[in-house]
Structure 1
């Protein structure tokens, strides 16, 4: 029921220099976002292609993703208006479950394959605050697939704030699904937490741990 989707980074300046300074600055921001995704992608590829058991590779993939993704920001965005109605204990539990759900889902997408190759596609400025970096993931005996990473500046560091697969945004899809669960249960967050626990149990069973 809950799936995928996470990205963003940028800045700009004012007017008379708009013909020169603004484009140069935007270009620098795109370059920064693309460089960050390339570094993160190569880290993932090195881990995925390591000569280790699948479980070990998944754990290492998870560590790379935790470092690269703005888990707190994405998690709060996805819960949306329901964040304010959740109790402090529910907020804390939600963030813990969300991180595990997100990292397990993304790790499963990458962590089971060897011989993976990763290349950058086109980057584009989205707003003054974010950029979108396209990547192509190639796996043995499977069709290559495209992922777009939205990269933003979080505390002065580039972070993934959304992942877009097949035109579908992870965080918008999750936000809609999570909100639907809460709405069906009278605006209560607790049933969503139960559903997230069940999902984690299913993912763990599928992974054999």
Structure 2
């Protein structure tokens, strides 16, 4: 299948909600953004390093990420101009698949083995009305890596609007990949949905569920 990085969110069923634009991210001050990422990081580490099976810890991590990430806003940004070309049913299915894969991929970055550590780096205000919070993730027997979290205020609450791993933006990279899949298939959003379903199935099989 095409090389695509993906994810899921349950979308509101009503047509007006489907057609309305997502809440736009507003500026959030650096102190609030830092506190938000610090608290989120602590939750993630506690879930990963806590008791329970791998599957239970993975579910806890997924629940934390769903609360922290502006999945609707990121998903619609990534689909770009193709959002309005999609039917309401395609929009709803896209958001479902997008959240599924996004959460699985972000969860995988933290790993499933206990002993994960999470530390804060530099925080800076950006011109794009969001704040960039740098973190370092350390896992057993694996080199530490950097994750930058772009944080904006969405609906009055700080939310992650992008994740930058080793200098690569998740939403920009994924937007380019999604657009390429649709373009190669005659502009059909349904072709992207097929690729996303396949990717979700592969991820689930790899995780043993």
> Residues 196, 64 of structure 1: CA spacing in aligned structure 2 closer, same or farther, 3 A cutoff?
same
Give the unaligned 5+ runs of structure 2: 8-24
**Is residue 2:27 matched to residue 1:10?**
yes
> Residues 128, 198 of structure 1: CA spacing in aligned structure 2 closer, same or farther, 3 A cutoff?
closer
**Is residue 2:194 matched to residue 1:198?**
no
- Give the SS at the match of 2:143: coil
- 1:60 Cα offset (Å): 0.4
> Structure 2 matches for 1:120-139, cutoff 5 A?
120-127=120-127, 129-139=129-139
- 1:115 Cα offset (Å): 0.5
> Structure 2 matches for 1:1-209, cutoff 5 A?
1-3=3-5, 10=27, 29-127=29-127, 129-209=129-209
- 1:113 Cα offset (Å): 2.0
In the other structure, the counterpart of 1:18 is none
Distance in 2 between the 1:166 and 1:107 partners?
16
Q: TM-score, normalised by structure 2?
A: 0.88
Distance in 2 between the 1:3 and 1:144 partners?
22
- 1:111 Cα offset (Å): 4.3
- 1:166 Cα offset (Å): 1.1
Distance in 2 between the 1:48 and 1:62 partners?
11
- 1:106 Cα offset (Å): 1.0
Q: TM-score, normalised by structure 1?
A: 0.88
Distance in 2 between the 1:113 and 1:9 partners?
36
Tell me the alpha carbon deviations over residues 35-93 of structure 1, each in whole angstroms, 9 at most, x when there is no partner.
10000000000000012111111100000000000000000000000001001110010
Distance in 1 between the 2:177 and 2:142 partners?
29
Contact 1:118/1:137 (8 A) holds in 2: yes
Distance in 2 between the 1:4 and 1:125 partners?
27
Give the unaligned 5+ runs of structure 1: 12-28
- Give the SS at the match of 1:144: strand
RMSD over equivalenced CA pairs, Å: 1.5
- Give the SS at the match of 2:52: coil
> Residues 99, 128 of structure 1: CA spacing in aligned structure 2 closer, same or farther, 3 A cutoff?
closer
Distance in 1 between the 2:204 and 2:121 partners?
33
Distance in 2 between the 1:124 and 1:144 partners?
21
- Give the SS at the match of 1:187: coil
In the other structure, the counterpart of 1:22 is none
